[in-house]
Each structure stands twice: as structure tokens, then as C-alpha cells.
Chains A and B, each alone.
Chain A
Amino acid sequence: MEWLSLEQWSPYAVGVGIGLLSCVAFLLSDKPIGCSTAFSRTSGMIEILFRGQKVGEKAYYKKFAPSIDWEWMLVLGIFIGAFISARLSGDLRTEWVPAKWSATFGDSVFLRWVVSLIGGTVIGIGARWAGGCTSGHGISGTLQLAVSSWLAVICFFIGGIATALFIFHVV
């Protein structure tokens, strides 16, 4: 069972595994793997805590009810699965500033926090605007040969590469 404690597996083995997992999701749950609606539902649940049940009347929450569903459990599972993997390989450690970031921008926790907060906000808006993320469009949608998903994933990478090159080489 030594392979379970390896820090990194071949990307091709991981890719085949994720592809097979997509098939299992279609077979057993009639659902494509996706992650971003779980965050919409959570955001709705938090809003209900502060503003009461009338939040559920908002048009968007009529489409994606603020409650725990299959995809919400999937995202919780990702957290648990990554924790188990990192725990087994000794890769589990708390870290505020990743190495690649600190090599260019220094080790200020505050700067990394502010940029990741802005990045998170923009990615949240973008994911729901485009109707999916790197999982829902990038893997599950492309494998179904959906036009929307191929277009979305191309735009994800155009935006991502342009932004990364800009902040690392221009700023």
C-alpha cells in the first residue's frame, strides 16, 4: 500500500481516475461532477441566517435552493479526500503564503490574503456567470461534448494565463 503514501502520482493515472469517477457519478447518481453551485447554496444558507427565510424568494435561489444537496456533499468530500491524501503522504501542513507567490511577491500574509480574497470573489462571480467551473464545465461538460463547456474552458484559460503572466511578469 506504499502508493497511497506517495506525495505525487502520475498526472495520467490521476486523470484516468477522475474520468472513471465521472462515469460512476453519471451511472449511480445521474449527475455530472461539478463544484460551484455548492458555494451558491452555502452563500444562500448564510444569508438566511442573517436575513431570514425571505432570502429563498430571490430568483437565483429559486433555481439553486439554499440547501444541502449531492454536489454540496461532493465538495465536502473533496475536502476530506484531500486531507486524507495529504495526511498519508506527510504533505499536510498549514501554509499562508505558497512558495511560488513568496518568491515573487514576498512573504506578507496580508498581501496574499487580500489578493486571494479578491481572486475568490471574482472567480465566484465568474463561475456562476458562466454557469460552471473547472469541474462542471472543464471536465464534466467537455466530456459530454457540450459547446458551452468547451467555450467556457477556453475562456477560463485565456483569462487565467493572461492574468498570471500579467501579475508575475508586469506588476
Chain B
Amino acid sequence: MFRALHAKQNVQLTIGLMIGVFFGFLLQKGGVTKYDVIMGQLLLTDFTVVKVMLTAIVTGKIGVHLLKSLGRAELHPKPGSFGSTVIGGLLFGIGFGLLGYCPGTMAGAVGQGSLDALFGGIVGLLIGVGLFSEFYPILEKKILSKGDFGDLTFPRLFKMNHWFLIIPLAAGIIALLVWIEISGL
């Protein structure tokens, strides 16, 4: 681990910016900053979003776990609960279907000139996260903590070595992508 590098705050801000620039460039080149492409995915007529995401997951999954095996990276899985992950996830989905962008692709959409993403999406998103922070204490107490399972990962859940999950899962995802291509989706 590059601990000294991780501790340099200003350098980190610059690295964050650079990673963002490459990320935004790739998202726009992939077409996934476009409303038409994202809605095509949600209407199940255009599988570009799924192709990008699944390929990124396979590549990243193998890469990050290799870095971990080499002692160069640590995992940071997010904690979850049924009250937070399932209800929040479904709410997110409803917003996703109405808006046609997600928080990251929305920043990219603004960069390519989509005004609905700027004046609708970004403004709405800021209102939404503001409302959430206002009601967070009560939501935390009543809903978010229900059915808490912490930062569980599948290797810990199934008590097995992560490579025994990563390799079959990667093979399954690649098979699914090949099937999507063959079906002409």
C-alpha cells in the first residue's frame, strides 16, 4: 500500500480529479451519459449500460483482488441493511427511471450539454440529498437500521476463498455478455 501517498491530501485531490476526468471521458465515449442510451437500457431495448457495467465489474473484480493479494490494496465494502439497501435501492430506481441519468452519468451529461441533467437532475439531486440529511436522524432510527447485515461480502457469507467466487462469477458474466451479443441485443 502506498500509505504515504494516501496521506497527502492535496495530491489526493488532484488524483481524484484526474480519475474523474478519465471516468467522465470513458462514460461519454461509451454513450452512457446519454438519456436515450440509459432509457434504452431501462426499456430493455439497448443493452449498452449492462455491457459497460458488467465488463467493468469483471475487470475491476479481478484487478482489485489481485492488488489485495499483492498487499497493494484494501477492500472497503459498504455496509447495508434491508431497510436501507432495498427501500433506498427501489427509490433510487424510481428516480433513475424518471430522470434517465444516475448521479455520475448526470455530471457527464452536463459536460456534453444536456440541460435537463443540469437544471432538472443536478438541482433535484441537491434537493433530494438535502431532504435526506434533514430526515436522516428519524430514518436512521426507524428504517435504515432494520435488517442490518453490516459490510458482509459473499466470500465471508459462504465462508470460501474469494477466488472460488470470482472466477466462476467472471465466467458467468462473460457467458451472459456473449449470449447478449448473439441475441443481437
Residues of A within 8 A of B (CB): 6, 8-9, 11-12, 14-33, 35-36, 38-40, 42-44, 46-47, 58-61, 68-86, 89, 91-101, 112-168
Contacts and interface: CB of A to CB of B under 8 A. Distances in A.
B85 A25 contact: no
21 contacts: A8-B31, A20-B63, A39-B103, A74-B20, A78-B20, A78-B27, A79-B111, A81-B108, A82-B107, A95-B116, A99-B36, A120-B95, A126-B95, A141-B77, A144-B77, A146-B80, A152-B80, A154-B89, A155-B92, A159-B91, A161-B44
User: At the interface, is chain A mostly helix, strand, loop or mixed?
Assistant: helix
Given A27-B72, A159-B90, A77 B96 contact: no
B73 interface: yes
B46 to A, nearest CB: 10
A81 B23 contact: yes
A94 B113 CA distance: 4
B164 to A, nearest CB: 11
A143 B76 CA distance: 11
B185 to A, nearest CB: 12
Interface of B: 1-2, 5-6, 12-36, 39-40, 42-44, 48, 51-61, 63-64, 67, 72-81, 84-100, 102-117, 119-134, 136-137, 139-140, 144, 149, 151-155, 157, 162, 165-166, 169, 177
A14 B76 contact: no
A46 B166 CA distance: 42
User: At the interface, is chain B mostly helix, strand, loop or mixed?
Assistant: helix
Contact of B88 (A8, A23, A81, A152): A152
A167 B90 contact: no
A18 B77 contact: no
